[in-house]
Amino acid sequence: MNIKKGDNIIMMSGKDKGKRGRVIKVLPKEDRIVVENINLKKKHQRPKTGGQKGEKIEVPRAFPASAAQVVCKSCGKPSRSGRKISGGKKIRICKKCGAEI
């Protein structure tokens, strides 16, 4: 999976196409990601104490990782990521500008 927690992504398809956000959670077994302020669904929350009312809150839900693309930090464009070995470590690089993601 090319997308990691903390990456900035852009939606390439779906109802939130064109929106940008930061990855909160990655689910590699299901090949899905959770991004803040993207794919929001309403959730009914129960009152926590006796005097309060219940409320509807919006929470981000998981969506397929293939619908998003990583945004490069240096060029600011959505791009595919490649791998390069430097100093005995594997690092992710931007395919467009060659900078480290």
8 A C-beta contact, residue 92 and residue 100: yes
Residue type, 68: A
Residue 6 has pLDDT above 90, yes or no: yes
Domains and CATH numbers, the chain: 8-70 (2.30.30.30), 76-101 (no CATH)
Q: CA 95 to CA 16: how far, in whole Å?
A: 24
Confidence of residue 55 (pLDDT cuts 50, 70, 90): very high
Question: Nearest Cα to 1, choosing from 19, 24, 26, 22?
Answer: 26
- pTM of the shown model: 0.87
